[in-house]
């Protein structure tokens, strides 16, 4: 089982769908749960929060709705890969499909670890993907991003460099394998 966060910054990458399909094919026979990042949609929420003072709780859940919308976009790009709100049920249902997209809003509303996360801009889809990976006992978390990762597991340093959010080190724990791939530079 792999949890793969598809960074929101990748949604404007030309050819994302065929490139991602090719990458996913190379991960076989793993079951893969994709977590869509927020990207530009969440940036709009951030700007509106700064302009109007939406408040931490409202901005947090609107940003998660942005991730949910990007999940639907990701499903459409990958030709209707199923969207699941309860990944444990998806796993228990058996091998109907080897890849699914997480409905982040539904997942977090079920409180799979959401109580660990503050309603704050210090939490991004990186930490949410880590919570998901722990909830489904994934053996690996892969972060597909638009940056080259230089911190090699030093999450505090990676956070200071803007490569992961400040909560990521707390949510991922020490025992989970994490790989960060600059997907803009990846080639088969």
Domain positions in the chain: 4-182
C-alpha to C-alpha distance for 89 and 92, rounded to whole angstroms? 5
C-alpha to C-alpha distance for 100 and 91, rounded to whole angstroms? 10
Predicted pLDDT at 61: 94
Residues of the chain under the 50 pLDDT cut: none
Predicted pLDDT at 95: 63
C-alpha to C-alpha distance for 62 and 104, rounded to whole angstroms? 11
Predicted pLDDT at 80: 78
Predicted pLDDT at 188: 67
C-alpha to C-alpha distance for 145 and 150, rounded to whole angstroms? 13
Architecture of the domain whose range is 4-182: 3-Layer(aba) Sandwich (3.40)
Predicted pLDDT at 35: 98
The pTM score is 0.94
Predicted pLDDT at 163: 87
Predicted pLDDT at 21: 95
């Amino acid at each position: 089982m792999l949890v793969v966060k598809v960074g929101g910054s990748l949604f404007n990458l030309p050819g994302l769908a065929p490139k991602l399909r090719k990458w996913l094919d190379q991960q076989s026979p793993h079951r893969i749960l994709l977590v869509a990042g927020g990207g530009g949609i969440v940036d709009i929420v951030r700007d509106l929060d700064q302009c109007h003072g939406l408040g931490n709780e409202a901005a947090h859940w609107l940003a998660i709705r942005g991730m949910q919308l990007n999940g639907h976009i990701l499903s459409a790009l990958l030709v209707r890969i199923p969207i699941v709100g309860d990944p444990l049920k998806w796993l228990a249902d058996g091998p109907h499909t080897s890849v699914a997209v997480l409905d982040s809003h539904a997942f977090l509303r079920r409180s799979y670890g959401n109580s660990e996360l503050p309603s704050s801009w210090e939490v991004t889809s990186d930490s949410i993907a880590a919570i998901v990976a722990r909830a489904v006992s994934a053996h690996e978390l892969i972060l597909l991003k638009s940056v080259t990762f230089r911190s090699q597991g030093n999450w505090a340093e990676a956070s200071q460099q803007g490569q992961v959010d400040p909560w990521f080190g707390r949510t991922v724990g020490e025992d989970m394998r994490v790989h960060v791939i600059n997907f803009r530079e990846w080639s088969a």
